[in-house]
Amino acid sequence: MSTIVVPLLCDRTKPDPHGVSERALPWARGLATQLVADVVLLTALDLPPGLLTMADKALLRQLLDDWRAECRTYLEEVARTFDGRVVSILVDEGDAASTIVRVTEQVRNPLLVMASHLRTGLSRLVLGSTALRVVSFAECPALIVGQRVPEPPTASVEVSRLLVPLDGSVLAEQALDVVAAIGLREVHLTLLYVLEPDTQDRAVERGLDPRTYLEGIATSLRERGFSVEPVIHSGRPASVIVAAAEEYRADLIALTTHGRSGLRAVLMGSTTEQVLRAATRPVLLARTVNPHLEG
């Protein structure tokens, strides 16, 4: 059974104390019911440096105690919206990304569900992105609700249709393993192969026929009880993936990521990052394991 970890912002120093974090809750509620999962609601108190240098230590302790109590009250209110599920509450101190990663390492079969602004350009270089930092270091799958995902009409979202882009590699196929591992079994899978304008000849050179490849994967999945539809589109991968998610009415896009981080990622980006920023559907990210890089 999975444990769904939901980071929520509770920062009284900001005009909007909860930011975008609550936008992840409809998917967290739906998945908690669908997967029969326990839930951990987490908030990290990222203390301003100026607060820690206060000369009046008694006042500082009182301020922190009040802040913790306020956060616990907030999380308890949110917990009551997860009908019938076991919900734990955690208020911690420290950097948000580091705290989230640490908590996912302490629970059983974690599935992280969080919302993000997914900053771009200079703001990301200077300020960073909590979501991107988390998925760079967390070993568990993560469902990211990006800024372009519209607010659902219901308080709980059931996942029934997934778009899974594949490219003929074992690494990309690991997204399918994660979908099954977290318990999403009674779902419809659209398997998408993208023919890029400058890579079609390379696929032929590798002896890969996309249609035959997809049908082979589809047959295996059908034997495991999945409903499957293989499709092939042409174009640039990120744009095609985002458009296909709309066309096939996917509830989620399931992708693998190598967890690349640092300045190279900021400057160069990746197909996964481009999809995260542009998608109007949440993205389920699965960390890949490359056996050639292990050890």
Q: Which of 99-103, 133-137, 165-169, 262-266 has the weakest average pLDDT?
A: 262-266
Of residues 18 and 103, more confidence is placed in: 103
Structure confidence at residue 53 as a pLDDT band (50, 70, 90):
low
Torsion of the alpha carbons at 268, 118, 162 and 183, rounded to the nearest 10: 110
Are residues 114 and 6 in contact, defined by beta-carbon separation less than 8 angstroms? yes
Whether residue 41 has pLDDT greater than 50? yes
Q: Kindly state the average pLDDT of the residues 227-237.
A: 95
The pLDDT value recorded for residue 136 is 80
- Cα torsion through 208, 212, 214, 217, rounded to 10: -100
The pLDDT assigned to 74 comes to 95
The span from the first CA to the last CA of the chain, in angstroms, equals 29
What does pTM read for this prediction? 0.87
Per-residue pLDDT at 52 exceeds 80: no
Instruction: Please write the tens of the pLDDT for every residue from 137-191.
Output: 888 999 999 989 999 999 999 999 999 999 998 889 999 999 999 999 889 999 9
- Among the residue ranges 2-6, 10-14, 47-51, 183-187, the one predicted with the least confidence is 47-51
pLDDT of residue 124: 44
Q: What is the pLDDT of residue 120?
A: 53
> Residues for the chain: how many in total?
295
Q: Do domains 3-145 and 161-293 have the same CATH topology?
A: yes
Structural element, H or E, at residue 287: strand 283-287
φ, ψ for residue 109, nearest 5 deg? 45, 60
> Is the confidence at residue 193, as pLDDT, over 90?
yes
> What CATH number does domain 3-145 carry, 3.40.50.620, 3.40.50.1100, 3.20.20.70, 1.10.3720.10?
3.40.50.620
Burial letters 210-241, b for 16+ CB under 10 A, else e: beebbeebbeebeeeebebebeebeeebbebb
- What mean pLDDT comes out for the span 236-257? 95
Q: What's the chain's average pLDDT?
A: 85
Per the listing, tokens 């998917």 go with 27
| Mean of pLDDT values over 104-122 | 82
pLDDT band at 109 (very low <50, low <70, confident <90, very high): very high
Domain spans in the chain, listed from the N-terminal domain onward: 3-145, 161-293
Q: Show Cβ contacts of residue 202 under 8 Å, excluding neighbours closer than 6 positions.
A: none
Task: Return the CATH number of the domain spanning residue range 161-293.
Answer: 3.40.50.620
The answer to whether 135 and 142 are in contact (CB under 8 A) is yes
- Taking 80 as the threshold, does the pLDDT of residue 202 lie above it? no
Kindly tell me if the per-residue pLDDT of 244 is higher than 50: yes
Of 13-27, 28-42, 56-70, 204-218, minimum mean pLDDT range: 56-70
Rounded to an integer, what is the distance from CA 147 to the centroid of its chain? 13
Dist. CA 16–CA 7, nearest whole Å: 16
CA distances from 219 to 39, 72, 190, 216, 230 (A): 34, 48, 13, 5, 10
Q: How confident is the model at residue 46 (pLDDT cuts 50, 70, 90)?
A: confident
